[in-house]
A and B are shown apart, each in its own frame.
Chain A
Amino acid sequence: MKKKKRMSPFIGLLCAWALLLSACASGGPNAGQSVQSEQTGKQALSTASGPGSKQGEPTPAAPAGLAQPLQETEQSENLSPDTQASETASTVAGYPGPGDNGPVATREVKTGLEATDPEKVQLASGKPQLVEFFAFW
């Protein structure tokens, strides 16, 4: 009876160790991914918390930040290379590059006050003329 009582803590420890091992083993190839997503979650948490906040202290927005990186990695994994390429192309097409001039105006439309160059003004211009004296103030 005394021997059994001495052995029981060891048996308990062994069981706990076996459970821990089985839990690690059942993770299999995905075990690395969960660790990775946890790390990216930690990065998101550290970027979400401001410079004044203490590290490791979660902000109210932190749970959403934790969930987001994992979703992104899952989405990018599910997309085929073709869809990824087309998505990138549409993003590039959506925003004009620095070399693009955009639409070209075909007719000059004046929207504000613009003074005429006095050197180009002739009162006797050969056709009727409207002269407006104005001030910018």
Chain B
Amino acid sequence: MHGLEAEYSERLNFVYLDIDDPANDAFKADLGFRYQPHIFLLDAQGNPLREWIGPVSREELISAFEQALN
């Protein structure tokens, strides 16, 4: 993920939320978090475009990033 962040950080925000932090409970409820690792790709308005539970490949993430940015 960090390699992708270095590549896309200017066009995409990267947020890492600790599920054990109570301050993140609102985000968990809003997005429908189930279990970690749970990854969401949101649009500029905060609506989920894609989501992945469990391991996800770099290629799949890049493909989703490009779709969201175009």
Q: Interface of A with B (CB < 8 Å)?
A: 109-111, 113-116, 118-119, 121-137
A134 vs B13: C-alpha distance in the bound complex, in angstroms?
16
- The minimal Cβ–Cβ distance linking B12 to chain A, given in whole angstroms, is 5
Main secondary structure of the interface of B (DSSP, over half): mixed
A129 vs B13: C-alpha distance in the bound complex, in angstroms?
4
A116 lies within 8 A of B17 (CB):
yes
For residue B34, which residue of chain A has the nearest CB? Answer: A133
Q: Interface of B with A (CB < 8 Å)?
A: 1-2, 5-6, 11-21, 23-24, 27-28, 30-31, 33, 36-46, 49, 61, 65, 68-69
**Residues in B whose Cβ lies below 8 Å from that of A132:** 1, 14-17, 37-40
- The minimal Cβ–Cβ distance linking B70 to chain A, given in whole angstroms, is 10
